Amino acid sequence: MERANWVIDFETLINCTVLVAIHYKTDERKVFVIHALRNDIKELIAFHEENIENGEWHISFNGIGFDSQISEFIIQNKDLLAKLDGETISNKIYEKSQEVIGRFETQMFQEYSERNLSIRQMDVFKMNHWDNPAKMSSLKWIEYTMDWHNIMEMPIGHGTFIETQEQLDTIVEYCINDVEATKNILGLAKDQIALRKSLTDEYGINLYNASEPKIAKELFLHFLSNKMEMNKWDLKKIRTNRNKIAIKDLILPYVRFNKPEFKKVLHEFNEKVIDAKETKGGFKTRMFHKDVRSDFGLGGIHGARESGVYEAKDGMLLMSSDVVSFYPRLAMVNNWSPAHIPKDIFCEQYQWFFEERMKIPKSDPRNYVYKIVLNSTFGLSIDKHSFLYDPQLGMQITINGQLSLLMLYEMLSEGISGSIPLMQNTDGLETLIPAGDKQKYLDICTKWEEITGLKLEHDEYQKLFLGDVNNYIAVYNYKEISKEEWDKPRDAQFLYKQSGGKYYMAKTKCKGRFEFQNLMLHKNKSFLIIPKAIFNFFIHNIPPETTLAQNKNIFDWCGGAKAKGAWKFKETCVIDGEVVIRDLQKVTRYYISKRGCKMIKYNKNDGREIQVEAGKWLSTEYNKHDPNKSFESFDINHEFYLAKIYKEIANIKATGAVQQLEMF
């Protein structure tokens, strides 16, 4: 019989405990309530014992940090709890829950570590790295980003004394919604789970709840431990701690420049000594060349021409060149390693990951695993909690990466007199060149590859709709496709054409605020109708008004807002001539409407207030979706969306860039 794994969630109130468990594949549901009106403690204990006996899993959102702790507390104290009344049991569970929350807030280890839990856990919160400060996301926020039908927060405070059946029903209904949402996240993570299962089986390391950086850390640890014949626990404890790093000691000997503005950047790097314990914001400089401003720091180079539409026309080519596995290859070709790891062992292992990946098709999950290992190692070198920690290695990679790419920038600019630099961003650059100089461009790139030991991949764009270095739409050149490909359903993100009995397709790339497909769940997807309309305007020549008129998906019109700490949301409405103020959730989904309310973010400590949408715009909260509501009844204010769309279009079109390009 197949194991019955369960998606679960606890709600722990001062005198009431609720656990909802839904089968991970079927609609089977179990609800346990512990309260004065209903005491399911014996059934709940039996459920946990059955889970343990059958080797079943609990699947949750932040379960390792919370729900598993409550389950383990019940398991460890089952004999005592079974003798108590519902209210006393809930009091004890509530006290435990407050202890668990307190440990989390003070960054203490929980009482029960994952490896010591009686029931195996799968935590979609940790798996997706939503516990990382840069990606930190609550279940409510993920419910918003995946267009969940109900993102209502707990309507009853956890410190509330529950007295009625109606209150119990409300808590159970809320808990069911969160479990169903978690189950939906689980469905979206099938490939991630399969990957972690295969790695766990192959290497004997529990990676089910590992984020991608942790997978990289654990696999590198596994291989280095074997090669160094060193216990993992001992290897985990070593670091290279530094106080100061003189950048001039890190720069590769081949880094040379000719033009004054390029030399100035190198000089400023050479003059800098950075605090190794706090590298963020430790260095900044800027360069102007051929009307492009390029910014440098201790991360990557970022530069772009003024916003505009750049086209490969009038005898010009729009070249895009990216360095293959830039940061990993920099470390490999220069034999860099953390100072506390033997160089030959580290470099040999790192090279092995790279070479193995090259042998494996991209369809093989191992290819992705090795990519994770290669790309995450740089991050681990500047992570104080990593056994690969040596900030000098991290600085060697990022600083020489910037300067190496800057060399290519200068070589192309000097070598091709008619070149027009458009953009440089961490691991690549885009340049307009005269069509007759394509071979010269490739020859210069080959010379740079010989100097640096790195490799470049080249593409050609038809057009680049440039907002700035992090926000743009690129249209690649057409490539011939088969009749079978031509006959497949069309994807709006591709362009198609037929010529001379042959079939062609051009892909597009959207970055930053122009992205609207396959967004990562932790990202803010507010008002997707806007990038969709901008894309349709530039790529398919569709007026924004047409896109707006045709889109009936209310979620595309919605924005999401989240408040942290002392900040909260409220809305102010005028109803029948009276001002009505209502508090909103910490995570609120809303859309801009003609007859809505003014949504305000306020600080409960100091009284500061900020309009969520400044100006005349009114909004309507939409945390609970009504599938039967007609689209017309939403009363959407198209003016707001069109203003945003046309502002972006004007930003790209109303510059001197197009006119300048036409001079060539």
Task: Based on the fold, state whether residues 580 and 646 are members of the same structural domain.
Answer: yes
Question: Is residue 235 one of the residues assigned to a domain?
Answer: no
Question: Is residue 456 one of the residues assigned to a domain?
Answer: yes
Give the H or E element holding residue 485.
Answer: helix 483-487
Task: Based on the fold, state whether residues 356 and 474 are members of the same structural domain.
Answer: yes
Of 194-203, 368-377, 407-416, 480-489, least confident by mean pLDDT is 368-377
Average confidence (pLDDT) over 204-219: 93
Q: Which of residues 514, 548, 579 is at a domain's end?
A: 514
| Predicted local distance difference test score (pLDDT) of residue 654 | 63
Cα separation values, 549 from 34, 488, 534, 638, Å: 51, 27, 14, 9
Question: Is residue 662 one of the residues assigned to a domain?
Answer: no
CB 58 within 8 A of CB 71: yes
Question: Is residue 99 one of the residues assigned to a domain?
Answer: yes
Q: How confident is the model at residue 42 (pLDDT cuts 50, 70, 90)?
A: very high
Task: Based on the fold, state whether residues 146 and 273 are members of the same structural domain.
Answer: no
Share of the chain above pLDDT 70, in %: 98
Three-state SS at 162: coil
Find the largest Cα–Cα distance for the chain: 87
| Whether the predicted pLDDT of 98 surpasses 80 | yes
Average confidence (pLDDT) over 348-366: 88
Task: Based on the fold, state whether residues 508 and 542 are members of the same structural domain.
Answer: no
Q: Which two tokens stand for residue 256?
A: 């040379």
Average confidence (pLDDT) over 468-489: 94
Tell me the per-residue pLDDT of 593-644, one tens digit each, with 9 for 90 and over. 999 999 999 999 999 999 999 999 999 999 999 999 999 999 999 999 999 9
The residue that leads in pLDDT, 663 or 638, is: 638
Neighbours of 519 (CB within 10 A): 13
Name the packing angle between helices 190-203 and 212-228 (round to 10°): 10
Task: Based on the fold, state whether residues 116 and 252 are members of the same structural domain.
Answer: no
| Predicted local distance difference test score (pLDDT) of residue 70 | 98
Total residues belonging to the chain? 664
Give the domain extent around 473: 244-514
Tell me the per-residue pLDDT of 380-421, one tens digit each, with 9 for 90 and over. 998 998 999 999 999 999 999 999 999 999 999 999 999 999
Give the H or E element holding residue 93.
Answer: helix 86-105
What is the model's pTM? 0.92
| Predicted local distance difference test score (pLDDT) of residue 334 | 96
| Predicted local distance difference test score (pLDDT) of residue 663 | 29
Average confidence (pLDDT) over 478-497: 92
Tokens 């079939």 locate to 503
Question: Is residue 226 one of the residues assigned to a domain?
Answer: no
Backbone φ and ψ for 550, nearest 5 degrees, come out as -90, -20
Report the C-alpha gap between 353 and 116 in whole angstroms: 32
Task: Based on the fold, state whether residues 277 and 396 are members of the same structural domain.
Answer: yes
Question: Is residue 272 one of the residues assigned to a domain?
Answer: yes
| Whether the predicted pLDDT of 300 surpasses 90 | no
Task: Based on the fold, state whether residues 388 and 255 are members of the same structural domain.
Answer: yes
Q: Which two tokens stand for residue 280?
A: 């963020």
User: What's at 247, amino acid-wise?
Assistant: I
Task: Based on the fold, state whether residues 262 and 329 are members of the same structural domain.
Answer: yes
Task: Based on the fold, state whether residues 418 and 339 are members of the same structural domain.
Answer: yes
Question: Is residue 550 one of the residues assigned to a domain?
Answer: yes
Task: Based on the fold, state whether residues 35 and 140 are members of the same structural domain.
Answer: yes
Of 50-64, 170-184, 565-579, least confident by mean pLDDT is 565-579
| Whether the predicted pLDDT of 655 surpasses 60 | no
Average confidence (pLDDT) over 92-113: 94
- 16 forms beta bridges with 13
| Predicted local distance difference test score (pLDDT) of residue 324 | 93
| Predicted local distance difference test score (pLDDT) of residue 613 | 96
Task: Based on the fold, state whether residues 122 and 259 are members of the same structural domain.
Answer: no
What is the average pLDDT value for the chain, to the nearest integer? 94
Q: How confident is the model at residue 662 (pLDDT cuts 50, 70, 90)?
A: very low
Q: Which of residues 158, 189, 209 is at a domain's end?
A: 209
Average confidence (pLDDT) over 182-206: 94
Tell me the per-residue pLDDT of 560-576, one tens digit each, with 9 for 90 and over. 999 999 999 999 998 88
Tell me the per-residue pLDDT of 398-407, one tens digit each, with 9 for 90 and over. 999 999 999 9
Half-sphere exposure of 622 (CA within 13 A, CB side): 27
233: Cβ–Cβ under 8 A, 6 or more apart, which residues?
A: none
Three-state SS at 141: helix
Name the packing angle between helices 638-653 and 529-540 (round to 10°): 50
| Whether the predicted pLDDT of 21 surpasses 90 | yes
Q: Which of residues 514, 545, 563 is at a domain's end?
A: 514
Average confidence (pLDDT) over 573-590: 93
| Predicted local distance difference test score (pLDDT) of residue 661 | 34
Q: How many domains does the chain have?
A: 3
Question: Is residue 437 one of the residues assigned to a domain?
Answer: yes
Report the C-alpha gap between 323 and 389 in whole angstroms: 25
Task: Based on the fold, state whether residues 473 and 538 are members of the same structural domain.
Answer: no
CB 561 within 8 A of CB 588: yes
